[in-house]
Structure formats: C-alpha cells, structure tokens
Chain A
Amino acid sequence: MESDRLISSLQAICGPQAVLSNPAELLAYDCDAFTLEKAQPLVVVLPDSTDEVAQIVSLCHEEGIPIVPRGAGTGLSGGALAPEGGVMIALTRMNRIVELDARNRRALVEAGLVNLRLTQAAHAHGLCYAPDPSSQMACTIGGNVAENAGGPHTLKYGVTTNHVLALEVVLPDGEIVWLGSRTDDSPGYDLRGLLIGSEGTMGIVTRAVVRLVPLAPAVRTMLAVFETVEAASEAVSALIAAGVLPAALEMMDRLIIEAVEESFHYGFPTDAAAVLIVELDGLEVGLDRETDKAIALLQAHGAREVRRAKDEAERARLWAARKKAVGCVGRLAPSKVTQDGVIPRSQLPAVLKAIAHISERYGLRIANVFHAGDGNLHPVVLFDERDPDQVERVWKAGAEILETCLAVGGSITGEHGVGVEKLAFMERMFSPSDLATMAELRRAFDPEGRCNPGKLLPTSKSCLDTRPRSQA
C-alpha cells in the first residue's frame, strides 16, 4: 500500500489530527527511553477507542503492514522501537478510568492511562494500584502490561501480572477479545498471564481490569547509611534471610547519591558508599517491633546511621528522590543505559563487586540504584553517545554484566523486558527448545509475525524457525 493511501485510510479512521507522518513529528517516536538504537515508523496513529484500534489493525492486517504498539515511551529496552517501520499505534489518548469498583477492589481502565493517575483515583477509596515503576508519573497501564512492570513496592505486593485480572486485546488480525475475567478466576489456559510481559508481540492491549489493594494503615521508612557497598549488600541479604518482609528495599551507591543530592537536597550523605531505603508497612500494631528488628540487623551489618522519615512529607521527598534517581544522572554524563539483570539475593555482594571491576576494566562509570530486596539490579552505565568508542565499550560492559547475572543463576531482565536490547541474550538464557516453544506461542497469536516485530525473540537465523515441533 502506498504510504499516502495508508495515511488517508488511517485519517479516515481516527481523524487527521490523530495521524502523524511528517519527519519532524516522527522524530519523537524513533526510540523509547533506550536510546542506543533508533528506528522510525512510517506513520504514528493515536486512536481514541478500542474500535479505532481494531480498524487500524484490520487495515494493517489486510495490507501486511507491521504494527508497533506504544504507551508513553518510557520503556528501557527498545520495546517501542519500529525496526521494520510500519504503523505505530500510540495508546496515550485512551487514558480513561472507565469504572472504579471500590467494593470489589478493581477498576476497568484504558491502556493509555498513566499509572499514577490510577493510584491517585484509588486513594479516595483507601486503595491503590500496587505496581509503581519509577516512571509511574508518565508510564501507562498498557505499557506496564506489555513489560510486566515492577517497581520498588513489588517486593511485597507483586508485579503487574499479580494485579491484572483481564485484558481487552486487539489481536493482529483485528479481532477484539477479552482474556481473563473481571471476576478473579478464569477457566482454561491462563491467556491473560501469557499476554502480560509479552512486549506487544501477541496483540494490542486496549483495556484492562486491574486489582486495587488497600493502602497500608501504617508505614515506617528508613534510610540506612553504609561505608561500603559490600556492607550494604550484606545487610540486604541478612534482612531477607532473617525473614523481614519489607514493602520496599532499595539501594543507591555513591554516584547516584551525589547526583540525587545535587538535584533534590534531601540530605543524603554524599560521603557514604551506599544507602538503603527500607520501608516496612502494615498495621500500626506490631510495626515498631518489626522496624526495631530491621534496624538492629542493619546496624549489625555495618550501617553507621539509620534515619527514620519523621512524617509523610519526608517519606514522599525520599521516594521522589529515589524514583527520579536515574534521571538525575543526566548531571553526570550526556547518555546512559540502564541494565536490568536479576540475581539471587544472596549473591548481591559478589555481583556488585564484579560490576565494579567491569566498570574499571572498560573505563566507564557505572552507578547503581536498584531493587535490592528482590535482587533486581539497575547498573546505570554512563557515557557519551557521540563517541563511538564509548558506545562500543557500553555494549561490551552491558554484556558482561548480564553474563555475570546469568553465571550466578539469574535473569537478563527483571522488569524492563527484552525488547531489542537483550535479544542476543535470550539464547544465552534459554535453550533452543525453550525458544522454539516461545516462538510457537507467538505464532498462535500472530502467525504472520507482524505484531511488534524484532522484539523479545531472536529471529530467523537462530533456532527459532528451524526446529519442527511435529514429529510428522
């Protein structure tokens, strides 16, 4: 289909204002928050309803055009890139809370709704939406579903898949289906669970029924200060091993502390090697005893100081600083790549040491700000993307970090997804038969491979399309 005819067909569906096709407009859509690779779609369309999405997808199906769903573009693995061009479908205009059912603790929302807006709306009912990625002020529920997003408080409350009951999905042929149920149980295969984290490769999520959880009646938030990263990571392992179940357990190292302090003036100790943010929540009764237990463990493992947030305002300032920490490193370098490997929690001291060695070996500064409680690392590699030599070293350092995670029995990604960034590592983590199985699942939803192509699974030259499943 000629691009002019495609554009006018899309305009007929969504109106001319909702179709972007000139190069200047498309520039904003050539990457997401993973900026090492860029690729422009042929056209971006911003539908306003499921019906419009279905019409767009049907048109692309008839014409054999790739489709790329996009939320707010905050993804960190290139999941919203358009490496094969095609039509990018941005869901940001579909941002309504259709229904908030406090009695049943659930809400029906559109995919383009910003995560934080849902939690703010739920607060009025004493509820919240638990997954709280650092980008929650911008990221969308649809994007969260695509990546199975986490966040600091998912240590206790679980990730996106634990909080989504049902999904309205436009399949790659344009059919609209509901997967899961607005009630808590759904018979048959868990298609809902399969779609969550599928990075837009099985269909376009347009609406979701999400679970809301009661706000914790009481919270204790602490900042523990350490002289060495090793001591901080040993304290994390000790807390987990002792059975303390924090709502969140986050670590920031010196580079991050300095950048965050310069931005927020919270009062972080810039001479410390690492800090831990430890948050416990639950009933008021008994919470102090649990807090005392945590403080004793932190001190026993070398915390030189444990500060408690004295009120909600101080707590909010602390979390604002933490959640914007990666953004703050813009002060340190013009470019950054955030890795997302996961390791067994007991391996934190050894792996953080290994990352420090990688940093030295490649001559790159690596800052660490991460979800220590669940072993989900976020080494932020700092560089200047205008220097090809640095870019080359960034790729190599990133690869070594992921190899280190795999070597201790970990994963290449805990919440950012594979996208285009970690495609090469799928074959390191999974066997050919594992990947062949995943390819079959993808084919069941998208036999033509047009839905967010070039993401999540390594493509043709690998094992994927060669191993027959049938014995026939």
Chain B
Amino acid sequence: MTATEQAWGELERLLGHRLSIGPQGRLTALPPDPATAGEVMAIAARSRLTVLPTGRGARAHWGNPVTRADLEIASSGLERVTDYSPDDMVVSVQAGVSLADLNGLLSKHNQVLPLDLPFPAATTIGGLIAAAPLGLSRSGYGQVRDWLIGVDVIAADGVAVKGGSRVVKNVAGYDLCKLYAGSLGTLGQIVGATFKVRPRWETSVLVRAEVPSTDRIEDLLAAWQVTTLSPAIAVVELSKAGATFWLGFDGPAETVQWQSSVARTVLTDLGGQEATIDSAAVTRADLAQRLAGRVGAVTVLRASVLPSDILTYWHQADEMLAEKGVEVTSIAQIHHGTMWLSLTSETSPNWASLVSGLREKARSLGGNLVVERIPDEVAPVVDSFGLDAASLTLMKRLKRGLDPDDRLAPGRMWRES
C-alpha cells in the first residue's frame, strides 16, 4: 500500500462522506471543526501529501498555480460564529463563515466589518485572510489586516497555532496576523479568526462625476489629498473616454450631506460634468464588484504606485497596451495609488511579456504589480508577484521554517527556478 493509499484510508475513516473527489479530480476534505482539520493535516504530513487549503473559491485563481496538490482541505465546513461581544465590538468566527453572513450577523447589532469587497457571499473568512483582497472603502477603513486581531491556524504538521488575541490592542509576541494575511495558504490552514468591528454608519452616499477632459484629471486626483473631507470611498475609473470619480461618505446625516455637497462643488469646479449623488443607480456593492475587474476582462492586474503617479502610470500602461492591440480600463484608489487594470484583447497577445513590461513600468515609479487574473493557459509562465531578491530570500526562509517539506500550496508565492 502506498503512503497516499494509506492516507486515503485514514482520511476516509476520519471524515466519511466529508471526503470526496473534487471537480478537478483532487481528493477534497471538508473537516467539520478545527480539531478535525488538524487531524487531516497531520495525516497529510505523515504521508507527505501536498495540501491546498481552500475556501469557496472566490479568489482561488490568485497567486501562481500550485505545482502539486494531493489533497484539498476546504474550510467551508467550519461555519460557527464562536464568540461575539457586541459591547466590545469584537467577533470570533470559524474560517468557513462568509463575509456576507458575518456582516449579516453584525448588522443585527448595527455593527460592520467595513471592507466592501467583491463576492462577499463567496468570500470565506479563511479566504479573506489568506488572499487579503483590497476593498472599495479603503480610504475610510483600511484593509483586512487592520481589522484582524486574532488568527487560528493549523500548521503544516497538523498542530494548532494561535496568533494575536481577542482584545483590540496587543503586542505580545510576533504579529502572526500580519504574516498569515495574504499568505495564500502557503504557511498553514486558517481555521478561525477574531476581528474588531465598528458601528455601522447612520447614512451613506456616493457622489459621482464624469471628467471628460484628461488635463483636469490630475487636479482632481490631487484635490482629494488636500481637502478636509474624509471620504470612506475615493476611487476613479479611467478609460480612453476620460475619468469617472466616485466619492463615498459615511456617517451622521448632517456630516454626510455637508461632505457630499462640498465634494460636488470641488468636482464641478475642477472640470467634472454635473456631479450627482448617485446612491440609488449604482450601489456600493456594485461599485465594489468593479474591483474584481471589468466584465469580460481576461486579465486583471493590480499595480501599486504613489497616488501622485496614478495618471502617469495610466498613460504609460495605455500607450504600451495600445501598441499590442490590448484595450485597458482601470479603477484606482485615489488615496492609495492602487490601480486595477482590466485587459481585453481580440487577439492573443503575449501576456507574459505584457505583465513583465507593465511590472517594469510600475517598478520604475517605485511601485510593483501583481496578477489577479490571467488566462489559464498562460498562468504557468507568468509570475504573479515578481518579488524582489532580498525579500524573496527572507520569505523562502520563513516558508522553510513553517513548512519544511514545502507541502502547503507549493509554488503559489514564487516559482522555483
């Protein structure tokens, strides 16, 4: 009997109907609780099976394709809310709870985990932490790592490891929450998390304005860095036709009203066409969905540049892509310089070369570029992250320390050359 067959037998006895063959022909375990998840991981470790931790698949395509995965361990069976103290504004959940369900629970107490992400119903908490996607309301509320105060992980050897705590401020030991956020399942299987949350706002509006004249866009981008307004949402959509600015304000009614009124004035004074308060026509959820890339885009890239370089990078990318017959649109976070580029093409361009070229341009501005979506057939030859050599050395040492046999999502974070 091979080690794999022996593991299969052990897993079958442990999991029963919770062990199956997934759509990709991969052995898939669906542990019902964290302790069982630990046992599954321990069996995999004994048999040296490679493991791919998964959620509901909203961002399963992120990162480089794994080089091997004998066993998929899905967190979607871990569905309990383990503790919720509304008075402390802290909630602990297992990793399979969806972001939508979590916010549904929080809303009963007028609270929220304010991330405004695409696919909230398909985003498990485990996936949320593992992928650490950036949300629409980042200007107001930051990102996942700013809200995560505790994390429960099953390590490569099947042992439970805890990082952080259940209090909102804590510096005891190393900040494992930061390490696991964005680690894409390569350092352990996330089985639970604790978040601080905040009160839900009284009211919320979106202000929108088209800016057809390219030469006014820079003024508007700069304006939001100096106004006293504090938008929760500050994004701009860029295309050949010009720009559409979106400002979102949350809070007490009179504050929101005043801010949206000032925002409209700024937008129209600086060249925007009639600025409208547009909360009904396009919802916050609709707008958040646009961060996943334009409908029909075959490739979605996420560049990070300085906020003052958004327009420069946009022009550079547009020019380079136009030469290759690739159409591009972008949505960018004005305060953060994060730009999603949605690429479409009638032909089959050399995606690897395009990614490399766009990455170089971002680097020349002091930034970087990651791949969020790319056609399956070219994924194996495109480096999703393009990590610099010094960081890569340290990351490999960390990975080796926590997963000495490289069995967790091997190849996902970097390609072995």
- Bound together: yes
List the interface of chain A (C-beta within 8 A of B). 101, 103-105, 126, 147-148, 150, 154, 158-159, 161-162, 175, 177-179, 181-194, 196-198, 214, 217, 237, 240-241, 243, 245, 282-283, 285-286, 289-290, 342-346, 371, 374-376, 409-418, 422, 425-426, 429-431, 433-435, 437-438, 440-445, 456-457, 469-472
Q: B380 in the interface, Cβ–Cβ < 8 Å? A: no
Contacts of B370 in A (CB 8 A): 185, 187
Q: Cβ of A471 and Cβ of B89 under 8 Å apart? A: no
Give the docked Cα–Cα distance between A374 and B89 (Å): 11
Q: B46 in the interface, Cβ–Cβ < 8 Å? A: yes
User: Per a CB cutoff under 8 Å, which of B165, B169, B199 touches A243?
Assistant: B199
Given A286-B251, A415-B171, A444-B397, CB of A437 within 8 Å of CB of B176: yes
Contacts of A191 in B (CB 8 A): 391, 394-395, 398
The B83-123 residues at the A interface (CB cut-off 8 A) are 85-90, 110-111
Q: Cβ of A182 and Cβ of B306 under 8 Å apart? A: yes
Contacts of B166 in A (CB 8 A): 344, 409-410
Q: Cβ of B385 and Cβ of A188 under 8 Å apart? A: yes
Q: Cβ of B178 and Cβ of A193 under 8 Å apart? A: yes
Q: Cβ of A188 and Cβ of B413 under 8 Å apart? A: yes
3 smallest CB-CB distances across A and B, nearest first, come from A193-B178, A243-B199, A440-B401
Q: B161 in the interface, Cβ–Cβ < 8 Å? A: yes
Given contact pairs A177-B391, A285-B259, A417-B171, a sample of 9 additional A-B residue pairs in the complex whose CB atoms are under 8 Å apart: A147-B171, A192-B178, A194-B179, A243-B199, A283-B229, A342-B169, A375-B88, A440-B402, A471-B405
Q: B404 in the interface, Cβ–Cβ < 8 Å? A: yes
Give the docked Cα–Cα distance between A30 and B87 (Å): 44
Number of B residues near A (Cβ < 8 Å) is: 87
Given A181-B304, A243-B110, A286-B252, CB of A415 within 8 Å of CB of B169: yes
Q: Cβ of A345 and Cβ of B307 under 8 Å apart? A: no
Given A283-B230, A283-B255, A371-B169, CB of A189 within 8 Å of CB of B413: yes
Give the docked Cα–Cα distance between A1 and B414 (Å): 41
Given A241-B86, A418-B172, A430-B162, CB of A441 within 8 Å of CB of B228: no
Q: B32 in the interface, Cβ–Cβ < 8 Å? A: no
Q: Cβ of A185 and Cβ of B199 under 8 Å apart? A: no
Contacts of A417 in B (CB 8 A): 171
Contacts of A104 in B (CB 8 A): 225, 306-308, 337
Q: Look across to chain A and name the residue whose beta carbon is closest to the beta carbon of B396.
A: A444
Q: Cβ of B159 and Cβ of A433 under 8 Å apart? A: yes
Give the docked Cα–Cα distance between A409 and B163 (Å): 14
Contacts of A240 in B (CB 8 A): 87-89
Q: Cβ of A410 and Cβ of B165 under 8 Å apart? A: yes
Q: Look across to chain A and name the residue whose beta carbon is closest to the beta carbon of B132.
A: A190
Contacts of A375 in B (CB 8 A): 88, 167-169
Q: A441 → chain B, closest Cβ, in Å? A: 5
Contacts of B89 in A (CB 8 A): 240
Q: Cβ of B401 and Cβ of A443 under 8 Å apart? A: yes
The B325-348 residues at the A interface (CB cut-off 8 A) are 335-338
Q: Cβ of B255 and Cβ of A282 under 8 Å apart? A: yes
Q: B207 in the interface, Cβ–Cβ < 8 Å? A: no
Q: Cβ of B172 and Cβ of A175 under 8 Å apart? A: no
Q: Cβ of B162 and Cβ of A431 under 8 Å apart? A: yes
Q: Cβ of B145 and Cβ of A181 under 8 Å apart? A: no
Q: Cβ of A433 and Cβ of B252 under 8 Å apart? A: no
Give the docked Cα–Cα distance between A343 and B304 (Å): 37
